[in-house]
Amino acid sequence: MFLTAFHGLAMALADSVPGVSGGTVGFILGFYDRFILSINDLLSKDKAARRKAILYLLNLGIGWVIGLVASMLLLSALFEKHVYVLCSAFIGLSLAAVPFIVIAEIAVIKGKYYNLVFTLLGAALVVGISLLRELDFMSGQISFVDGLRGWQYLYVFLAGMAAISAMILPGISGSTILLVFGCYLPLLEAIKEVFRFNFSFRMISGILVMAAGIVVGALLAVKGIKAALLKFRSQTVYTVLGLLLGSAYAIAQGPLNLKPSQEGIVLTQGLPNSLRIIPLIVGALILVGLELLRFLIEKKSAPAKAAAAASNEAGVSGIDAHEEASTGELASATSDDGQSSAPSDDVQASVPSDDGRPDERPE
């Protein structure tokens, strides 16, 4: 129970950081397969399997909630003092994911470079969403604490849908999408206010709208993305690469969503809002380290998985051989009793001929 809760906590720590996937941490710690299997068992007709899945996911969820709240409180405090350091690290995390996706999906990328148009569309979509936040009809900056206004309710709902949908895409996290939509830092601020026992209706209503978007996204959008990965995987992967590249711009503009608002990150060095090179490299190295650890674990477990697969095949072959042997013994026993499958002469003598009359054989 406590180990499962710890797994949930570790997954939440990853989910709360833009650029890091909770699924990657789940794989590294060795519980990702069980997590996916438990989700599938929720719809199982087997009551015992369904009950076991519910208990497992409940324990995992307890740790996940504790980890998410703790990490968001910590990140909220860090953002107030080190916003440019954190955003630079997040940019490094996001950009470092690009080569890993290319390597993992090389089979659907190589030779299909005409799909680069989807990369451009993905990047344009992220940049467009970032610019959309600055338009007048958005009624100003997103703020859960001050309350949402006008179209912001629909905007936050869609952000929730997009965030949960991103969790099944390779290399991109829900936190990155929330940052793109400009909802990540306001959400951190709102959670911090909740722990100050601020339960104002205007703030809670905005959080509930985003939660509703997450639920709807889990029920609807996720199925669409799974279908896209199955039928249009190359186009989808190229789009994800564009989303990651475009997210670097969105993260750089993240400080604009702070309260009070601050300047976005610029490449020019020597300024207060300059891109921090060392945090950028550290962020990239964190992802490289996680992926390297995942690769080593996968390589180490490969012989065991191969042996298990061979054992299963051997078991199936043994069953088939046993069935064939049993069939042969039965046939042999039947032959020994004189009751072979071929009809005897007496029986053949009574078999009707083609014209319907008994076939009379000479004695």
Contacts of 226 (CB under 8 A, 6+ apart): 168
DSSP letter (8 states) at residue 255: G
pLDDT at position 209 over 80: yes
pLDDT at position 34 over 60: yes
pLDDT at position 238 over 90: yes
| Residues 212 and 153 sit within 8 Å (Cβ to Cβ) | no
Q: Vertex 20, ends 15 and 21: CA angle to 5°?
A: 60
Q: Vertex 239, ends 29 and 231: CA angle to 5°?
A: 85
Q: Give dist(CA 111, CA 147) in Å, integer.
A: 49
Question: Any idea how long the chain is?
Answer: 363
Residue 208 tokens read as: 């509930």
The whole-number average pLDDT for the span 29-33 is: 74
Q: Map out the domains of the chain as residue ranges.
A: 2-300
Q: Which strand (E) or helix (H) includes residue 140?
A: none
The whole-number average pLDDT for the span 275-290 is: 89
Burial class of residue 238 in the structure, from the number of CB atoms within 10 Å of its CB (0-12 exposed, 13-18 middle, 19+ buried): buried
Q: How many CA atoms lie within 13 A of 217 on its CB side?
A: 20
> What is the reported pLDDT for 325?
56
Most confident of 70-74, 267-271, 322-326, 357-361: 267-271
DSSP string, 58-94: HHHHHHHHHHHHHHHHHHHHHHHHHHHHHHHHHHHHH
User: What is the band of 114 on the pLDDT scale with cuts at 50, 70, 90?
Assistant: very high
Write down the mean pLDDT value for the chain: 78
| Residues 287 and 93 sit within 8 Å (Cβ to Cβ) | yes
Task: Indicate whether this model's pTM tops 0.75.
Answer: no
The whole-number average pLDDT for the span 176-201 is: 85
